[in-house]
Structure 1
Amino acid sequence: MPKNLKSEADQKYHFSEQAIHYLGKPLESLTEKEMRIFKRLVDRQTIARNVNVAFDDKLTIGQRLADKVAKFGGSWTFIFIFAVLLASWVGFNSLAVIRAFDPYPYIFLNLILSMLAAVQAPVIMMSQNRQAAKDRMDAGHDYEINLKAEIEILALHDKLDKVISTELSALIEKQQQQIDLLSKLVLGQKP
């Protein structure tokens, strides 16, 4: 914030001008997110933070369990264990010398598989919904960082343009002095 802005009204006017210049909107019409970014920009605060930690801290025990079940249910370990269990079940009940506890057509196995699917599908959906929410949070955070970076780059361009303009004016003035001096020397006048 410029040091020459003493009053609150001056500061508000300056911020409003900056908002119009960099965001294309007056200060009053900024969204809550844009206002937060603009305030952090003015206060020279960083926006970057680890949103994964904030998101994971809010998870309940059930949500953590759902994520673990979904992670295990979507792994090669699960597929191999499940294939071995199915083959063992079918093999034992097909080759049983005494009485098989679930003979062909494996009705009890069908019941267990149906119950597993009925429980596993909603758990996986809950995990996917949470992942989608986490992705939205990441995207929002990325937007904030990108917007702040874009505004800071625009401000740097403005500062560079101002420095270049000042330097160019000083250079032109010096060049004019040298031209005047050379003109006097050529005409034989004393400088």
Structure 2
Amino acid sequence: MKARAETEIKCFHCQKSYAPDFLISGEVIRSGVAEIIKKRNPAWTPSNLICLSCLNLFRSEYIEDALEEEKGELSQLDLAVIESLKEQETLTENLNLAFDKDLTIGQRMSDRVASFGGSWVFVALFFLAFFVWMGVNTALILARPFDPYPYILLNLVLSCLAAVQAPVIMMSQNRMEAKDRLRSEHDYQVNLKAELEIRHLHEKLDVLLKHQWQKLLEIQQIQMDLMKELAFKNPGSS
């Protein structure tokens, strides 16, 4: 009985006496589990011994902390993405309102003239006025027409109309080109922001997956250690 007591060694954590085969040296315990033991027992050193029961408790605690940390990392990732979106200025806006509010009266009039000149209403009114002009200036209606055939005054009016309408339409087209250029720049900024956000998310996912793989490998190694210990305790069960 005395010889048996001499061969038993106390566990550093629970201070219970066990056979040497039931104790594990701190040198072979994984660093993650050893850190938890160190937190509970500040005097712990790798040369100390701990029983399998206490070691399994610390292993379970390490696995629980690892899983909780995984959940915490997921929530922190979501918060980081939301925070990055909040801090940056929103680029989406109504470019038509932003562009039109700075137009002058002359520019607004030119846009309306260009819009009216490119409509079927203008074409219909033009032909109506054209035929009315020719009809009024025929010898059958007026004895002394103010613009007899070949309608020189009508040609002058049409030439003046074309001379005035052409630059007005060109001014409107230049503003449309400026608006299109502004829209292209805005689309580029939005696409660039989206690309940076996607790249940022990819980097976070890569870091998260790397951490997950490391923790899964550590958990798997702990499980393998437990299986080896069970096989060592029950060599004839296989």
Normalising by structure 2, we get a TM-score of: 0.60
The structure that is helix-richer by fraction is 1
Runs of 4+ residues over 3 Å off in structure 1: 40-43
After superposition, the Cα gap between the structure-2 partners of 1:97 and 1:49, relative to the gap in structure 1 and judged at 3 Å, is closer
Which of 193, 207, 221 is residue 148 of structure 1 equivalent to? 193
Q: Deviations 1:25-77 (Å, cap 9, x if unpaired)? A: xxxxxxxxxxxxxxx97933212222221211110000000000000000010
1:9-88 mapped onto 2 (5 Å cutoff):
43-88=87-132
Percent identical: 54
Matching residue's letter, 1:68: R
Deviations 1:169-189 (A, max 9, x none): 111111111122112222336
Bigger Rg, structure 1 or 2: 2
In the other structure, the counterpart of 1:184 is: 229
1:127 aligned onto 2:172: yes
Partner AA of 1:71 in structure 2: S
The aligned length equals 151
Q: For 2:168 and 2:214, how far apart are their aligned partners in 1?
A: 69
Do the aligned partners of 1:69 and 1:123 also contact (CA within 8 Å) in 2? yes
Counterpart CA distance in 1 for 2:119 and 2:228 is: 86
The Cα offsets for residues 117-146 of structure 1, whole Å up to 9 and x where unpaired, read as 010000000000011011111111111111
Partners of 1:97 and 1:124 in 2: CA distance: 37
CA distance in 2 between partners of 1:89 and 1:97 (Å) = 12
Aligned-residue CA RMSD in angstroms?
1.9
Aligned partners of 2:142 and 2:113: how far apart in 1? Answer: 36
CA–CA distance in structure 1, aligned partners of residues 112 and 217 of structure 2:
70
List runs of 5+ in structure 1 lacking aligned partners: 1-39
Q: CA deviation at 1:154?
A: 0.3
The one-letter code matched in structure 2 to 1:159 is K
Which residue in the other structure is 2:212 paired with? Answer: 167
Greater Cα offset, 164-173 or 112-121: 164-173
Alpha-carbon distance between aligned partners in 1 of 2:204 and 2:104, rounded to the nearest angstrom: 49
Contact 1:41 1:148 in 2 (8 A): no
CA contact (8 A) 1:66 1:126 kept: yes
**Could you state the TM-score of these two structures normalised by the residue count of structure 1?**
0.74
Structure 2 portions without partners, runs of 5+: 1-83
Structure with the higher strand share, 1 or 2: 2
Q: Which has the higher contact order (CA 8 A, sep 6+)?
A: 1
Alpha-carbon contact 1:69-1:124 (below 8 Å) kept: yes
